[in-house]
Structure 1
C-alpha cells in the first residue's frame, strides 16, 4: 500500500538492525520509526495499516564521538551464558560472524546469531575475552577485525564495553 498523504516528502533516517522474514515484509519498524516517517499528527493513521510499502536506500551510519561498543544483553548469566550486540557500528559494513578466543584449546569459537544483531554463546571463555568480527562490504569483501580483551573477566549483564575501534 502506498500512502504518500501520511508520510513526509523528505523521508527520514532510521537505523535498521535486522532484516525481517515475517508477514511478507523486509523490515520490522518500531512505533518510533513510524512516528518519524509520518507527517505531523498522522503517525497513528500510518501505524494503523501495520504493513506499508517503504522506499529505502542504504546509507553509511555515523556515530560521531563513539567507538563501536559491545552491549551484554540483560538475559546473559555470568559465567554460563553470554549474549551481546554490537552498537554504534559506523560505516557500510555488515557483521556476518562473531567469534571468541578459547585460550585453553587455542582456537576461535563461533558465536551463534540468536536473532537480529544479537550473538550468543553457551559456556563463554573465562578471563578477559578476545572477540573477532567478520565484516563484509561490497567494496572491501570480507575482513576479520580483532577486539582483544574487550570484555573483562567479570563481565556483567546490561553493561556496555568500548571496543576502542570503529569499522568505518
Structure 2
C-alpha cells in the first residue's frame, strides 16, 4: 500500500514537472523599462522595419525586445506584460506588440511610454510607475488580434519595380511565427524563397514577373508548420510605399 502511494506521488510529481517545463501560457519573470524620450507611442525607426506603422500599431502599446527579438522572427509577436509592484500595478497589465530591438539594465522589454504607464492601476499611479524608470515584470506570449483586418503586405519605399522588391507583413493575428516566405509567379507557379534582410523585412532582387502570389510558412512553438497562401495577389504594377490586402487572416 505504501509502495503504491509512493509510486503515485512520483507519477504526479513527474507529470507536474513536465507540465511546468512545457507550459506555453505560463508567465516568465523579468524586467522592463521604457523608451527614454518624450514620445508616448513607440519609435518609427524600429529594427523590425515597420516604420511609422510600428509606432502606432496596437494603439501605441508597443515594445522593443532583447532575446525575444530572435533575429527578427519575433517582430509582430504579442505579449501580455504586467508589472509586479502591487502598489502601482494592475492585474491584467498591458498587451504589447514587438516592433523593435533593444535592452537595458537586464530587461527583456523596453516599452513605449504609453505601454509602461498602461500597466498601472490608475493615471496617478502611472505617473509614479514612470518615475521608477525600470520595474520588475512577468510576461507571456498571447495571440495578436486585429479585428476586421486581413494580413497586409506593405511594399517598402526602398523597392524599385521590377528590379528590387522589399516588403513587411502587417496585421498577423494569432501567436505563430512567419519563418519563411516564398514569392510565386501566378501564371506558372514558379516560386522563389525570399531572404529576411532585417527585422520583418523580406526582400527579392530580380523578383518574378507578372502578378505575384505569396506563400507564408507559419510555425508554432511545438514545431508544427503550415504554409498559407493569400487569396489576393500583389499586382504586376506594384508601387513602393503601397499596401496590398492579402484577403486572408489567421486566428491562432
TM-score (norm 2): 0.54
Distance 1:29 1:73, change over 3 A: farther
Q: Using the alignment, how far apart are the partners of 1:132 and 1:90 within structure 2?
A: 16
Q: CA RMSD, aligned part only? A: 3.1
Runs of 4 or more, structure 1, over 6 Å off, are none
What 5-or-longer segments of structure 1 have no aligned partner? none
SS at 2:118 equivalent = helix
Distance 1:45 1:158, change over 3 A: farther
Structure 2 residue aligned with 1:36: 118
Distance 1:28 1:79, change over 3 A: farther
Q: Quick check: 1:131 aligned with 2:131? A: no
Structure 2 residue aligned with 1:94: 177
Q: Whose radius of gyration is greater, 1 or 2?
A: 2
What 5-or-longer segments of structure 2 have no aligned partner? 1-30, 33-82
Q: Using the alignment, how far apart are the partners of 2:221 and 2:142 within structure 1?
A: 13
Q: CA deviation at 1:55?
A: 1.5
TM-score (norm 1): 0.77
Distance 1:7 1:74, change over 3 A: farther
Q: What is the number of equivalent residue pairs in this alignment? A: 164
Distance 1:32 1:72, change over 3 A: farther
